[in-house]
Amino acid sequence: MTRIGLIDYGMGNLHSVQRTFGRLGAELVSVHGPADLEACEALVLPGVGAFDPAMERLRSAGLEPALRRSCASGRPLLGICLGLQLLFEASEEGKTDGLGVLAGRVRSLPRLAGHPLPHMGWAPLIPATASPLLPAATPEAWVYFVHSFAAEPAEATASTALVDYGGTPVTAAVWQGTIAACQFHPEKSGPVGEAMLRRWIDWVGSL
């Protein structure tokens, strides 16, 4: 069985992620520091909260350089919600640098009348570049969002799915090399989200 590490830096929705992976037959092992991830074949980076405090916690745990090395080595990683945003170079939400393993920045969603922030609730994904997470023939997928910021990848092809926010498509999921990430919460998106996680687990197992 593939050994998948769940990065625990004190700002993730760990229990719901663990439960969902458990239902899919994948046991996650907790990663608290650099030594923990060495035995892992793949990683999950969850996140709930603000950009700067999350990066500060990753740094204090010694995980910032370790995650950069891990991604550079080709070890698969799946980011969820804030975990997606941390993969980019910087965010308008804060002042600190992100992990920078994906080129681009995280921008605030536009303030639009009738569209309160955070963007919260169910919305359909708009397919973009096909990936193992969202293959070309994937049926319409409604997933659950809670966010006020969205990534703008430097390479448009890194976006595997978008979501409409007030008439503007923004990044909902990315896939580049061995790095995948969802701005939405697949672990809270019912059978559709579980199907995405199953595809990711199967893809990791095929490497």
Q: Which residues contact 187 (CB under 8 A, 6 or more apart)?
A: 13, 16, 17, 19, 20, 21, 80, 193, 197
**Phi, psi for residue 184 in degrees, rounded to 5:** -80, 175
Which residue in the list 64, 119, 182, 185 is annotated as catalytic? Answer: 185
Question: Is residue 182 among the annotated active site residues?
Answer: no
CB atoms within 10 A of CB 72: 10
Strands of the sheet with 168-176, listed across from one edge: 28-31, 4-7, 42-45, 77-80, 179-182, 168-176, 159-165, 126-127
Among 40, 119, 147, 187, the one annotated catalytic: 187
CB 149 within 8 Å of CB 92: yes
Tokens read off for 133: 């997470």
Q: Which of 40, 64, 71, 81 is catalytic?
A: 81
> How deeply is 175 buried, as exposed, middle or buried, from its count of CB atoms within 10 A (0-12, 13-18, 19+)?
buried
**What 3-state DSSP class applies to 16?**
helix
Active site residue 81: yes
Query: Phi then psi for 161, rounded to 5 degrees?
Result: -155, 150
Is there a catalytic annotation at residue 15?
no
Just list the catalytic residues: 81, 185, 187
